């Protein structure tokens, strides 16, 4: 550590123009050490492998259910089973009947597999309120559909 006691030529009235940077460097080193220790503690992550997004071709099977959902006038919801408009109660009844028919067709619950289990495919309009699509999903799950998916239009620019 150096110290200046006066000027070189003997003048004591000259102001000292040098800045002592040693305390500044000491503070910066202490802050650097603090940040190096605390950043790994603050940033804790759970290792998760996220799925890669890609467009998959929809497998259309005869036992699948195709639903179209859009917002109606006055905030109402319109749900269509294929091309027939249905209410929430009719949707639940049709979905339960569809599963019962499929179980009977394969010979019982014990014969249901991933391959022959029907799926619900929902097409939602861009301007459809979330409550309409969410209601259709919940109704299909209440009926017993384990696989409910969304049909979307792929972005043509991103797909090329």
Domain-located, residue 53? no
Query: What is the H or E stretch that residue 149 is in?
Result: strand 148-151
Domain-located, residue 47? no
Residue 75 contacts by C-beta under 8 Å, 6 or more apart in sequence? 129
Rounded to whole angstroms, what are the CA distances from 69 to 45, 81, 91? Answer: 38, 9, 12
Condensed to tens digits (0 to 9), the pLDDT of residues 3-53 reads 555 556 665 667 777 888 899 999 999 999 998 888 777 666 556 555 554
Rounded to two decimals, the pTM is 0.59
- Which two structure tokens, joined as six digits, stand for 53? 């997004």
Rounded to whole angstroms, what are the CA distances from 85 to 32, 71, 142? Answer: 65, 13, 19
Domain-located, residue 150? yes
Domain-located, residue 100? yes
Answer yes or no: are the C-beta atoms of 69 and 123 closer than 8 Å.
yes
Domain ranges, residue 145: 65-159
Domains held by the chain: number:
1
């Amino acid at each position: 550590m150096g110290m200046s006691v006066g000027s070189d030529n003997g003048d004591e009235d000259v102001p000292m123009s040098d800045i002592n940077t040693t305390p500044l460097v000491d503070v910066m080193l202490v802050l650097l050490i603090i940040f190096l220790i605390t950043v790994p503690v603050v940033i804790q992550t759970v290792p998760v492998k996220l799925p890669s997004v890609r467009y998959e071709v929809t497998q259309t099977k005869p036992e699948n259910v195709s639903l179209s959902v859009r917002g109606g006038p006055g905030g109402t919801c319109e749900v269509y089973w294929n091309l027939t408009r249905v209410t929430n109660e009719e949707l639940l009844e049709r979905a339960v009947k569809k599963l019962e028919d499929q179980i009977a067709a394969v010979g019982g619950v014990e014969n249901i597999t991933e391959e022959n289990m029907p799926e619900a495919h929902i097409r939602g309009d861009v301007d459809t309120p979330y409550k309409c699509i969410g209601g259709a999903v919940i109704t299909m799950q209440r009926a017993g559909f384990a696989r409910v998916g969304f049909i979307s239009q792929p972005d043509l620019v991103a797909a090329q």
